[in-house]
């Protein structure tokens, strides 16, 4: 016998998750709501590899971020490769590559896994999945409004009501203009914007702003015409929990127009959930032809957290609708035949191949949460009639073989 110290650990790599069926069930539910909602707005799915040339990120983010927060390595052909930390550079690459063939505007979404090298903590793992929704090729304010409507519809489809979250919006173009009119030069404006991004975490924002600019400065920003239009249009679409917040700038430098961010209003978990905005310099890494874009990203970890907070996660249910249990080996062929028939009628059917006693087979199926059980022995084989037991109600229904599927479907929808 090999000593235990020669055996490998069963732990995953640090900071990533294993998805056993119970966890995958939640993941699939979140992905399903994302896909369903995005497709209901006419968005189409795209994807790409998690591996990208490193230059894609170096160009945009500057050396520092590439070196410290991304997974990168050199491949055997001396290529620099990165595990994508975000999807936007990838989708910009795809759009730039086929820009001549695309009938603009296009609506696209993807649910990529993204990697960041950082200390694992709540909501900030090394790998997470993120819905990316974008519209390319439209400068219309209708595109900005649609993004926010889409975000609100996703939350509605997850079961949130509009008192449970708030949408904050700002107009970065108007902000930029105000700062410029107040006499801030480009560098000062950039730094002031960076400071604004951290405003909520500061008690001494005004002093810090004064120190930065060398003079007192208080931002007084009325909502721009664009902001007023967006809010009015969202009200018309029955989205009222939206508020102009002039200090909202989002963390990225690439936003160029309207931005929004969705916050939970739950007092125990009152935090930013996700956000996005307009970024009209999308494809400038690849060519000089303008490509307006508006979009947002929404992560699986944050989504799961907020659904947990509001008790909106669906209870786990196994795939199987019917478990077929057999008295002994002689009944496997009949059971397999019946399974085939029920599958053709759209039911998910598993066959117990454990060889255990029939009582144990039934106990096991019940423990797994399989809703219907059929035991197969001599009587069933002789009469071609089966007893279908609905575990939730205890109802046992004697069915001719051809009637089983109809009974199960009816009992399920009831």
Structure tokens at 259: 């931005």
Are 403 and 365 in contact by the 8 Å Cβ rule? The answer is: no
Q: Shortest Cβ distance from residue 15 to its own copies (Å)? A: 9
Are 389 and 379 in contact by the 8 Å Cβ rule? The answer is: no
Q: Output 94 or 242, the one with its CB closest to its own copies.
A: 94
Q: Output 50 or 219, the one with its CB closest to its own copies.
A: 50
Cβ neighbours for 31, distance < 8 A, ≥ 6 positions apart:
111, 129, 300
Q: Output 251 or 346, the one with its CB closest to its own copies.
A: 346
Give me the phi and psi of 244, to 5 degrees please.
-75, 125
Q: Output 193 or 278, the one with its CB closest to its own copies.
A: 278
Q: Output 144 or 261, the one with its CB closest to its own copies.
A: 144
Q: Output 76 or 201, the one with its CB closest to its own copies.
A: 76
**What count of residues does the chain have?**
414
Q: Shortest Cβ distance from residue 214 to its own copies (Å)? A: 33
Q: Shortest Cβ distance from residue 375 to its own copies (Å)? A: 16
Q: Output 6 or 181, the one with its CB closest to its own copies.
A: 6
Q: For the chain, give the longest Cα–Cα distance.
A: 95
Q: Shortest Cβ distance from residue 31 to its own copies (Å)? A: 11
Q: Shortest Cβ distance from residue 114 to its own copies (Å)? A: 12
Distance, in Å, from the CA atom of 366 to the CA atom of 128, rounded to the nearest integer, reads 34
The two beta strands, 165-171 and 258-264, are antiparallel
Angle between helices 205-213 and 186-197 (to 10 degrees): 160
Q: Shortest Cβ distance from residue 404 to its own copies (Å)? A: 15
Q: Output 3 or 268, the one with its CB closest to its own copies.
A: 3
Buried b (16+ CB within 10 A) or exposed e, 52-79: bebebbbebbeeeebeeebbbeeeeeee
Give me the phi and psi of 234, to 5 degrees please.
-70, -40
Q: Output 29 or 217, the one with its CB closest to its own copies.
A: 29
Q: Output 14 or 122, the one with its CB closest to its own copies.
A: 14
Residue in this structure with the two tokens 């790409």, named with its chain if needed: 48
Structure tokens at 364: 């096991």
Distance, in Å, from the CA atom of 388 to the CA atom of 412, rounded to the nearest integer, reads 13
Structure tokens at 199: 């405003």
Are 286 and 132 in contact by the 8 Å Cβ rule? The answer is: no
Q: Shortest Cβ distance from residue 81 to its own copies (Å)? A: 6
Q: Shortest Cβ distance from residue 110 to its own copies (Å)? A: 8
Are 80 and 72 in contact by the 8 Å Cβ rule? The answer is: yes
Q: Shortest Cβ distance from residue 2 to its own copies (Å)? A: 7
Q: Shortest Cβ distance from residue 257 to its own copies (Å)? A: 15
Buried b (16+ CB within 10 A) or exposed e, 315-341: eeebebbbbbbbbeeebbebbeebbee
């Amino acid at each position: 016998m090999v000593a235990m110290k020669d055996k490998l650990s069963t732990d995953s790599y640090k900071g990533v998750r294993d998805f056993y069926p119970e966890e995958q069930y939640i993941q699939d539910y979140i992905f399903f709501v994302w896909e369903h909602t995005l497709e209901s707005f006419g968005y189409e799915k795209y994807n790409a590899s998690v591996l990208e040339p490193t230059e894609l990120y170096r160009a945009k983010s500057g050396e520092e971020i590439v070196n410290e927060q991304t997974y990168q390595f050199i491949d055997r052909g001396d290529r620099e490769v990165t595990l994508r930390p975000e999807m936007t550079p990838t989708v910009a690459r795809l759009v730039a590559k086929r820009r001549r063939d695309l009938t603009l505007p296009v609506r696209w979404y993807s649910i990529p896994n993204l990697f960041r090298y950082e200390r694992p903590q709540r909501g900030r793992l090394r790998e997470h999945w993120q819905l990316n929704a974008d519209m390319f090729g439209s400068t219309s304010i209708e595109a900005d409004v649609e993004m926010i409507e889409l975000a609100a519809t996703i939350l509605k489809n997850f079961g949130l009501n509009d008192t449970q979250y708030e949408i904050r919006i700002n107009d970065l173009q108007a902000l930029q203009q105000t700062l410029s009119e107040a006499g801030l030069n480009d560098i000062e404006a950039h730094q002031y914007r960076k400071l604004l991004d951290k405003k909520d975490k500061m008690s001494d924002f005004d002093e810090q702003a004064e120190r930065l600019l060398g003079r007192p400065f208080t931002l007084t920003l009325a909502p721009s015409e664009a902001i007023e239009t967006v809010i009015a249009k969202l009200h018309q679409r029955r989205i009222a929990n939206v508020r102009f917040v002039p200090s909202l700038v989002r963390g990225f430098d690439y936003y160029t127009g309207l931005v929004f961010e969705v916050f939970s209003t739950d007092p125990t978990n009152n935090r930013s959930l996700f956000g996005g905005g307009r970024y009209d310099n999308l494809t400038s890494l690849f060519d000089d032809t303008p490509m307006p874009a508006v979009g947002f990203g929404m992560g699986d970890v944050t989504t799961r957290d907020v659904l947990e907070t509001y008790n909106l996660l669906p209870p786990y249910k196994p795939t199987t609708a019917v478990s077929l249990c057999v008295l002994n080996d002689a009944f496997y062929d009949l059971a397999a035949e019946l399974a085939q028939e029920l599958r053709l009628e759209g039911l998910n059917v598993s066959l117990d191949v454990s060889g255990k006693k029939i009582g144990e087979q039934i106990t096991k199926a019940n423990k797994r949460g399989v809703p219907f059980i059929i035991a197969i022995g001599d009587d069933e084989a002789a009469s071609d009639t089966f007893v279908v037991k609905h575990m939730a109600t205890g109802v046992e229904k004697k069915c001719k073989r051809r009637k089983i599927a109809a009974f199960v479907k009816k009992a399920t929808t009831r």
